Amino acid sequence: MEAEHGAMDAYSRIVTTVAERLRPSVAALSVPGPRGTGAGSAVLFTADGLMLTSAHVVEGVRDGTAVFQDGVGSRFDVVGADPLSDLAVLRCAAAETPAAELGDADRLRIGQLVVAVGNPMGLAGSVTAGVVSALGRALPAREGRHIRLIDDVIQTDAALNPGSSGGALADARGRVVGVNTAVAGYGLGLAVPVNPTTRYIIGELSATGRVRRAWLGVAGVPAPLPPEVAERLGQRTGLRVVEVVPGSPAGTAGIYLGDILVSAAGRKLDGVQVLQRLMLGSAIGARLPVTLLRRGAFVDVVAVPVELAS
């Protein structure tokens, strides 16, 4: 019994410490819209007033109001938004507000403790805790008439409610490892990870207000490699091609349905996020060598990604 109480005390201490550290950095957003005022959350991540939130929270608006834990309100302006990652960067007059530290979601493990801080139902500074339920999920989202997928999201059972979107998902040390983006069902919350890919996106949004991406025109899902191939390459999985857009750079290069993409530009394609990272910035118009497995044989092709239309 004493051990159980000790474990609960340790758990409580972690959650309390993270809450004390993060609550001052998380703002409640008031966003004007055609159907009235919307609500969301945002987390301050630089000392000069840059905030991170979900792109869908500020969709179609240029500014709004942010209120921090101390009750002080400040106007914010939208610096840039990227619907494909559901991330947006805002700027406000943060004054004495402390900035949160960004972490690395690539180091998360299933079952790890996470703490969510946001403003659900307009209740500022609300804190919930739970565990990482799954990693690498895909989140379907609607953009106009089109359905897009936000890949590589974090699934957690930390309670999220309307208004939590844009809030912080933190590890046990109080580092922001995700931006809460959706409630997918009871006990099922989703967050966009903070990792090298999204750090690049955040940097581009902060500097230029937009993100340039390369487009390959292929969709893949993780698939195990044959044992002999896995042993030879030191790589357990590749990406099985489930869609090739006709006339796309992938189609022109000779990539077909059922192929397993093994590597690109010398990088092992053992996860969707690896290919996503290759499609940022400098990949536009550059030769992209791809090695794939087709009917048990290795095939080398070269694709030239084009810029994805915004």
Question: Contact, 85 vs 198, CB < 8 A?
Answer: yes
Catalytic residue among 56, 171, 248, 259: 56
Q: Is the pLDDT of residue 146 over 70?
A: no
Catalytic residue among 25, 41, 133, 165: 165
Let me know the angle formed at the C-alpha of 148 by 147 and 152, rounded to the nearest 5 degrees. Answer: 145
Annotated catalytic, 86?
A: yes
Q: What is the pLDDT of residue 85?
A: 87
Taking the C-alpha atoms of residue 29 and residue 130, their distance in angstroms, rounded to an integer, is: 24
pLDDT per position as a tens digit, 22-60: 999 999 999 887 666 778 999 999 999 999 999 999 998
* Residue 74: both structure tokens together: 């400040």
Which pTM value belongs to this model?
0.80
pLDDT per position as a tens digit, 6-15: 556 888 999 9
Annotated catalytic, 5?
A: no
Annotated catalytic, 56?
A: yes
Q: Is the pLDDT of residue 298 over 90?
A: yes
Catalytic residue among 86, 152, 171, 259: 86
How do strand 73-82 and strand 36-44 relate by DSSP bridges? unpaired
pLDDT per position as a tens digit, 213-235: 898 999 888 899 999 999 999 99
